[in-house]
Amino acid sequence: MIGDFTYTGLFLSFFIASGGMTSMVISLLIFLSIREKQLFHYLHGGFFFVFGFCILCDPYSRLGTESFAPYLLYMNYPLIFLVGPFFYYYFRSLMDRKFSFSVRHIFSLIPFLITLIIFIPYYVKSNEEKIALFPLNGISDGVVKTLYRIIELSMFPWSLVWVLFAIYRFWNRYYYIKDNHDRAVKFASIYLLGSLVVMMVILVTDALNLFQYYTFGILGLILIMLFLGVVTFRYPHFFIQVRMESSAARYAKSRLSKPVADDVVERIEDLMSLERIYENPDLTINDLSRSLKITPRELSEIINTRYQKNFRNFINAHRVDAARKNLVNRPGESILSVCFACGFNSKSNFNRVFMDSVGMTPTEFRNRNSRQKRSLKPADTVPEQGKI
């Protein structure tokens, strides 16, 4: 025994801590591996980092292990109130490409901010003082003890509520389609339900002080989250496929009413920004319409109406946008390489389309931006006379 802590409990706790560290490493790999990051990438990486740090700190908040890392004591308590919102907003951004943060989303941070303010006096104490006051539920100050207990009892229910929100949103948007048999959608639904079950186990066992079962619940949660991390790291667009499959199922049986046309536009944007299908030089309107499960005539109508362009000009606009980025961000790459990488099948066609769109040739565009970059660099300065 170490204090009131068995060696088995000690081993499980440090195993849990290693899972938290692994989750934090995955978050860093997510940020480093994805070239063109969008909102859901930042939410995904942020969720794994916050979740990993909370799990890393959890074992050190157990009686018998507090002396191993006193600087981590209760550091996870405010952050636990961020895990649920991060989880929900991550899935929300996957399900709705137009999702963005607004002022009303700040309210989800209130429990985190309140808990942080309450624990600041504890965080600024020395390690010896932190250990002397640990655990807080045993101190004599009735107000502090009550606040601590309220926070402790509300952490996991708060996260559970956000998981339920995510499930409701997912079901309401996607899974109500009875004949939807796409694997990605099924995987996402099983993952969400599994997260719900594990969260409920953690909630009940924590409230009843059943440490052994609570530990296994945490281990189960770690496995679920790490599985998500491995899948999305190995297949970064997997959950985007969930949105694409589900939107396809929604409008497959309908005519092009406005809501259905909106779904088509959303999926077109996904195919352009995430799949970058414009990089295929042989892409035709028939190919794209088959991917969208609509007729070429319907696709042409949507592109003409929503983008005021025909199909060829619409695809070329995306190719030119990609070429402009590559010409600036990849100065060592030849113009011809940029041309083919963006989906143009000849340099002459590339020059003509680029000139019509930008008003200058690709070479002129690169040279102008290179000069602008150099002019923005801090120049060597000479001290004024009498000054050093």
Looking at per-residue confidence, does 66 or 33 come out higher? 66
Distance between CA 367 and CA 331 in Å, rounded?
A: 10
Cross-strand pairs, 2: 5
User: pLDDT band at 369, cuts 50/70/90?
Assistant: confident
Q: What is the mean pLDDT of residues 266-275?
A: 80
Task: Name which residue leads in pLDDT, 360 or 371.
Answer: 360
φ, ψ dihedrals at 102, nearest 5°: -130, 180
Predicted confidence band of residue 8 (pLDDT cuts 50, 70, 90): low
Instruction: Give 161 or 242, the one with higher predicted confidence.
Output: 161
Which tokens is 297 given?
């005539």
Distance, CA of 169 to CA of 92 (rounded, Å): 8
Looking at the predicted structure, is the pLDDT value of residue 235 above 80? Answer: no
* Statement: residue 209 has pLDDT above 60: yes
Query: With 80 as the cut, is the pLDDT of residue 194 above it?
Result: no
Confidence of residue 110 (pLDDT cuts 50, 70, 90): very high
Percentage of the chain beyond pLDDT 70 is: 74
Q: How far is Cα 324 from Cα 338, in angstroms, rounded to an integer? A: 9
pLDDT digits 0-9 by tens, 9-47:
667 777 777 878 888 887 887 777 666 667 777 887 888
What are the start-end ranges of the H helices in the chain? 7-33, 39-57, 76-95, 110-123, 127-133, 142-170, 183-207, 211-234, 238-252, 258-273, 285-292, 296-307, 311-329, 335-341, 347-358, 362-376
Instruction: Indicate whether 181 pLDDT > 50.
Output: no
Q: Above pLDDT 90, what percent of the chain?
A: 15
Contacts of 150 (CB under 8 A, 6+ apart): none
Helix (H) or strand (E) holding 181: none
Q: Which range is least confidently modeled, 72-81, 215-224, 252-261?
A: 252-261
5 - beta bridge partners?
Answer: 2
**Model pLDDT, residue 63:** 64
DSSP secondary structure letter of residue 175: I
Q: How confident is the model at residue 117 (pLDDT cuts 50, 70, 90)?
A: very high
What pLDDT sits at residue 387?
A: 36
pLDDT tens-digit readout, 289-331: 888 878 888 888 888 888 889 999 999 999 999 999 889 888 8
DSSP per-residue string spanning 103-153: GGGGGGGHHHHHHHHHHHHHHTS-HHHHHHH-SGGG-S-HHHHHHHHHHHH
Mean pLDDT within 96-106: 79
Model confidence, pTM? 0.64
| Confidence bin at 105 (pLDDT 50/70/90) | confident
